[in-house]
Structure 1
Amino acid sequence: MAPNASDDSATAADADELRAARRRKAARYVVPATVVGVAAATIGLVPALADSGDPDLPKISAQELVEKIAASDVQQLSGTVKITTDLGLPDLGGLESSLGSAAGPSGSGDGSSADPSSKLTELASGTHTLRVAADGENKQKVSLLEDAAEYSLIHNGKDVWGYDSKSNSVFHTTASEQAGKPKGELPATPKDLAEDALKAADKTTSITVEGTAQVAGRDAYRLVIKPKDKDTTVGQITVAVDSKTGLPLKFTLTPASGGAAVVDAGFTQVSFAQPAASTFDFTPPKGAKVEEEDASKAPGHAEHFGKEQRKDLDKGSAELGKTGPEGLNVIGDGWDSIATFDTGGKGVPSGAEVGGDAGSFLDSLGDKVSGGFGQGTVFKTRLINALITDDGKVYVGAVTKDALVKAADAGK
């Protein structure tokens, strides 16, 4: 590593300043990509994005680097982002094909395969390549490249188009009038992911600068965010920040348990030149089936999984209950936050009760637990764990199994 590491830690005041800056200035270049919404909490990067060098850059403190990110105002860019998901889920076996058949030919139930919400599950595992482009706050595009096919989500002015080339189907809705963006904007780039992590920075977080890196041919500083909470499953987050523009180029989240990254998203190519205007043009192809939708009125679509909901969760706010499941509350704050709600029904059936591939899948995910609350099952990944009690209460968070049981006991 180049000798520019800093032991400075960002304080709570620094985090407050960052949040204020974020309120003053929207991240205008970000693609409003519901299709990559899973990236907020469930992505890991391929080894091909390993650093290609340690450039010698001027020393910078953690506070100065956080301020540089907040001040970044890149509005024009194009590039390629590589994403790999590694939640440590077991092999779905025959369950995956069974679910696909039940969903219909497009795998999305009754809806169009071009509907962004139908693409979320595809990013829950494996390696994916995204092409992104932006020209100000009213023109963004993200394309998910698949085998012999492509899915694109385009925002151009008031129109938002989703197009699935495999099925030749089109989804169309209109952007929110607020800031000229469609509702339901979700993370599509390392900048989104980095800002979501930084806004949670408080007394429970250590933020330092630890060396440099080169990402997509750009010199960058390495900002390291480490939770101090002992019950969280998050080990640390590393953000490669472009030394000139302050734009996060790469985001890596490693679990407290060690091993491969769970969340790691970064550019393999990036340009800050203005994209061609034609990049954002879209006309439904001949013969394509077009689904028109008012996203603001669709409970299963974008706005219900957007940034505002995640902000509430990050703050540990009871206001989340207004947009999330009825009766949802948040216990604690910071990295140890646990969301809880009552389904009003019974707990999860055992694998033996379900039977078949689905039953085997349930058993592979769940651990039976008991405590003062009674009995239940903890469903686990390398990042997010959830306890569902036998009487239908749910506790979920980026915390350990023991923390969930403790929360259930306290809530009894």
Structure 2
Amino acid sequence: MKKSVWLPALIAPVVVAGAVAAPVIAQAASTPIAGNDPTAAAVIASIAGSSDARYSGKLSQTSDLGLPELPTGAGGSSLEGEASDALSLLTASHTARVYVDGASKQRVQVTEQLAEQDLIRNGSTVWTWDSKQHAATKTTLPSRSAQTPSSGTTTPTDVAEQAVDAITPTTTVSKPVATSVAGHDAWLLTLTPKSSDTLVGSVQLAVDQQTGLPLRASVTADGQTDPAFQVGFTSLDYGAPAARLFDFTPPAGADVSTKDLSDATPGHGARHHNTGSAERPTVTGSGWDTVVALPAGSADQAGLDADASGLLDQLTTAVAGGRAVQTTLVSVYLTDDGRVLAGAVPVSTLVAAAK
């Protein structure tokens, strides 16, 4: 199956649905949230202080986005490889072990049947490992980088930080209420979009009362009561994990590739990968109504092989000027001229934005 761009375009907006914007949290001291009746602002501010936290835990992620049932096994070759992995992120439940020693040492282990995927960051070096493919990738980050490449596993912090960015004036924030997650006392916030055009009904964040660490995050679709997407800790122990967990040596015979981003500047790729502005995504709208558009050529439907084309037909329906899929939280529109538009909005909004 040829690598296609529309699958990542379908996955990325799931996180966008949590807020539709990149995180911009002001720095805050790592101190417990004061008092038994904190303000929402105090709870939100405490999240930034959790960046230096040290802990080990187990995460559970569930998704119910209303995607159509697709065939597997015999006759279902279109669901092999990249397509299978991508759709699994959207439709199946996952658990992961997480080890964190401050902002520059993290390890995420996702274990499936007879397979394991790992992401290990130790300073400026990041390893990813896929046991099914018996392949590893070593990435060297810029020395000042605070970013870690995505493992495909979302954490509560990922969703929480993005939701915080959409707080005002687009969002109503509830008064914090006490709850408990994985045996830890937490404050629960509910963020409700003011927009009537978004598919998102609400986002709930549970924040540890002592550390400010987001313990659970869930996104509920408009008009629904059960979360369409949720990720949270089922167990959590504070304290520095063993140093050996952040070391990685590829197994014998592994297919190893490297990526050197050490010469990249913040917000850009490495110099030899730099592309013109015409190839960059464009953003329209704001807050929960944001629409991200990838340029012409991003959805090369004509170049897909038979399996990929069949999968595309099953996932999408024909609309004016292209094909589209609308889940409970996210819509993706593939235009006939090869553009991809996505957002936490109805398909009709994407079609209008494409004109």
After TM superposition, is the score higher than 0.5? yes
- Select the structure that is richer in helix: 1
1:294 is paired with a residue whose SS is strand
Distance in 2 between residues matched to 1:404 and 1:204, nearest whole Å: 20
- Match for residue 318 of structure 1? none
Paired residue for 1:61, among 15, 39, 50? Answer: 39
Q: Is 1:292 aligned to residue 257 of structure 2?
A: yes
After superposition, give the CA deviation of every residue in 1:94-147 in whole Å (9 maximum; x if it has no partner): 59942355xxxxx359xxxxxxxx965542320111101011233211100111
Larger Rg: 1
Tell whether the 8 Å contact from 1:170 to 1:288 is kept in structure 2 after alignment: no
Paired residue for 1:330, among 269, 276, 283? Answer: 283
Map 1:8-407 onto structure 2 (within 5 A).
19=24, 21-22=26-27, 58-94=36-72, 97-99=76-78, 107=81, 122-179=88-145, 182=148, 188-285=154-251, 287-296=252-261, 326=279, 328-343=281-296, 358-359=309-310, 362=313, 365-369=316-320, 375-407=321-353
In the alignment of these two chains, the number of paired residues is 320
Tell whether the 8 Å contact from 1:143 to 1:150 is kept in structure 2 after alignment: yes
Distance in 1 between residues matched to 2:114 and 2:299, nearest whole Å: 44
Tell whether the 8 Å contact from 1:216 to 1:270 is kept in structure 2 after alignment: yes
Quote the offset at 1:395 in angstroms.
Answer: 3.3
Quote the offset at 1:150 in angstroms.
Answer: 2.1
After superposition, give the CA deviation of every residue in 1:27-82 in whole Å (9 maximum; x if it has no partner): 9xxxxxxxxxxxxxxxxxxxxxxxxxxxxx81222122112223334431110001
Distance in 2 between residues matched to 1:323 and 1:186, nearest whole Å: 27
Tell whether the 8 Å contact from 1:209 to 1:221 is kept in structure 2 after alignment: no
Identity of aligned residues (%): 33
Distance in 2 between residues matched to 1:341 and 1:108, nearest whole Å: 20
Q: TM-score, normalised by structure 1?
A: 0.66
Distance in 2 between residues matched to 1:363 and 1:168, nearest whole Å: 30
Q: How well do the aligned residues superpose, as a CA RMSD in angstroms?
A: 3.7
- Match for residue 372 of structure 1? none
Tell whether the 8 Å contact from 2:316 to 2:323 is kept in structure 1 after alignment: no
- Code of the residue aligned with 1:75 in structure 2: it is A
**Structure 1: 5+ residue runs without aligned partners?**
1-17, 28-56, 102-106, 110-117, 298-302, 310-320, 370-374
Q: TM-score, normalised by structure 2?
A: 0.76
Distance in 1 between residues matched to 2:323 and 2:243, nearest whole Å: 52
Tell whether the 8 Å contact from 1:89 to 1:381 is kept in structure 2 after alignment: yes
2:175 is paired with a residue whose SS is strand
2:196 is paired with a residue whose SS is coil
**Structure 1 pair 68–138 and aligned structure 2 pair: CA distance change class (3 A):** closer
1:382 is paired with a residue whose SS is coil
Distance in 1 between residues matched to 2:329 and 2:201, nearest whole Å: 10
Quote the offset at 1:153 in angstroms.
Answer: 1.6
**Structure 1 pair 180–338 and aligned structure 2 pair: CA distance change class (3 A):** closer
Tell whether the 8 Å contact from 2:299 to 2:340 is kept in structure 1 after alignment: no
**Structure 2: 5+ residue runs without aligned partners?**
1-22, 269-273
- Code of the residue aligned with 1:368 in structure 2: it is V
Tell whether the 8 Å contact from 1:345 to 1:391 is kept in structure 2 after alignment: no
Tell whether the 8 Å contact from 1:173 to 1:295 is kept in structure 2 after alignment: yes
After superposition, give the CA deviation of every residue in 1:5-33 in whole Å (9 maximum; x if it has no partner): xxxxxxxxxxxxx93615x89x9xxxxxx
Instruction: Determine which structure has greater relative contact order: mean sequence separation of CA pairs < 8 Å that are 6+ residues apart, divided by chain length.
Output: 2
Quote the offset at 1:84 in angstroms.
Answer: 1.7
